[in-house]
Amino acid sequence: MSEARARGVTPWLVRGLCVIAGAGAALAQPPFGFLPGLLGYALLLALLDRVTGDRPFRSAFARASLAGCGYFVVSLWWLAEPFQVDAANQGWMAPFAVAAVTAGMALFWGTAALLYCASGRRGVGRVLIFAGAFAAIEWLRGHILTGFPWDLPGETWPAGSPVSQAAALAGAYGLTWITLAIAAAPAVIAEGWRGRVVVGASAAALVGLYAFGAVRLAGAPPTLAGAPLIRVVQADVRQESKYDPALFASIVTRYVQLSRSPAARRPDIIVWPEGAIPAALDDYMAHGAWTRTDIVGALQPGQVLLLGGYRYGDARANPPVVYNSLVALRRGDADVAILGLYDKFRLVPFGEFLPFDKLAGELGIKTFVHVGDGFSSGPRPRPMTIPGAPPFQPLICYEALYPGFTREGANAAGYRPDWIVNISNDAWFGATSGPLQHLNIASYRAIEEGLPMVRATPTGVSAVIDAFGRPLASLPEGALGVLDRPLPPALEPTPFSRLGDLPFAAMLAVSLAFAVWPRRKA
């Protein structure tokens, strides 16, 4: 009989505890906000430290993978919702898609456990080794195959809260390392005075994060007089409505009427979401099209309209080149002129493009997942400068997940934008936790860069977010209306906007030192 069984701990109990650890950590994330769930990381560390048997690496991998399944099922269950848009043909795929993505993401946690176990796990300093292993793998999850950095542990804290302000120092990955180290510390509390010191230090670090954030938030600058007035349009157009030709005219009319709603002050810039009009930009903005005439009529001379849609590149290419784009228009005396174009750079794998497209086509997978020829990736990000608007960095939907995206664009262009425009089509996710999670994740980009963000979605949550990640005004899921708000001020460049992931790399170096030093000493 094994030692575990002798203590009455059965393998199924261990497996259940692993799933509970991951699910608890996920429930700490917005919109659930059950912060005691962060102790799930301490439970996972304890379970990894108690691996027994002649295959410890295999057991550690399995335990962490089970915890990852618990985490990602809670975090990503909304992935089933897009398949309900065409439920008759694709609804059956929903459970398989959620299971496949969850299992794939869980493998990253299993790999992190292998790194942790390979360190030797000596002393109470192993808390930092655990934090380093899992934070490093979370970074990898955010980069491999374009990455999927959804619900990083560092983004557990509601954006705009005091603790979230640490992202201005070290970014979401640095805050992930800090969060994991603090949350895992209780696992060593019973290990004498050293364990108690570690727990006390983690508590002090948490208090320090709250204090730093509170001081930072207290220094918020006022909105500048004469700041551009932004209007965000949320037309509450459900995704399934976009596939009904009979509703096309009413969708256009809804956006047009909302855009010209009366206001005490005329908006300078109007923002429509990604895929606002369910047609190609080349078609509905063609000269002579009634849709162009209506859109022109929605604007007053001098007003700028930012809208998202797909457009064709080289019409002679086979298959055709299609971009998911943000277009900037300005109304003149009688028509609109295109001021700028941004083509989405980071595409959604299996949604907007299929990895290994040629091989997938030969195997028949391409038809199975209904991706088609997909979109083409645009050039690397750069801020957009247009007459009538402060320079801004466009982020289309998925791109708001990536720490450093705006920083990369500023470095490439040689100048920093004044704000971030995030257009998204969260209508795909219905009334689930997905849009609320997306709002929280996107708001971290404002904190990291010290820049305000304007976010437009067709069904919510649309928001005007200040440079601290706080929504100053928002339209909830399922709401129809507009937000009129002066553009919040930008802050001075943050340490993260200057240094990028260097602080995070330093944190990983600390974890590596704790892993290597005991071996060298021995």
Mind telling me the catalytic residues? 274, 344, 397
**In the chain, what's the furthest Cα-to-Cα distance?**
86
Taking the C-alpha atoms of residue 215 and residue 74, their distance in angstroms, rounded to an integer, is 33
Taking the C-alpha atoms of residue 247 and residue 241, their distance in angstroms, rounded to an integer, is 7
Taking the C-alpha atoms of residue 263 and residue 302, their distance in angstroms, rounded to an integer, is 16
| Sheet with 419-423: strands ordered across | 384-386, 389-396, 419-423, 453-456, 462-465, 471-475
Residue in 47, 216, 128 with CA at minimum distance from that of residue 508:
128
Q: Backbone dihedral region of 396: left (phi > 0), alpha (psi from -120 to 50 degrees) or beta?
A: beta
- The residues that bridge with 327 in the sheet, in sequence order, are 307, 341
Tell me: cis bond preceding 461? Omega within 30 of 0 counts: yes
Q: Residues with Cβ < 8 Å from 385, sequence gap 6 or more? A: 340, 391
Q: Residues with Cβ < 8 Å from 100, sequence gap 6 or more? A: none
Taking the C-alpha atoms of residue 278 and residue 249, their distance in angstroms, rounded to an integer, is 10
Q: In the structure encoding, which two tokens stand for residue 239, read together?
A: 């995704």
Residue in 498, 274, 502 with CA at minimum distance from that of residue 406:
498
Q: Residues with Cβ < 8 Å from 487, sequence gap 6 or more? A: 223, 227, 228, 229, 230, 390, 418, 419, 452, 454, 464
Residue in 497, 502, 488, 492 with CA at minimum distance from that of residue 455:
488
- Helix (H), strand (E) at residue 481: strand 481-486
Q: With beta carbons less than 8 A apart as the criterion, state whether 17 and 43 touch.
A: yes
Taking the C-alpha atoms of residue 256 and residue 34, their distance in angstroms, rounded to an integer, is 41
- Helix (H), strand (E) at residue 322: strand 322-331
The 3-state DSSP class for residue 313 equals coil
Distance from the Cα of residue 196 to its chain's centroid = 35
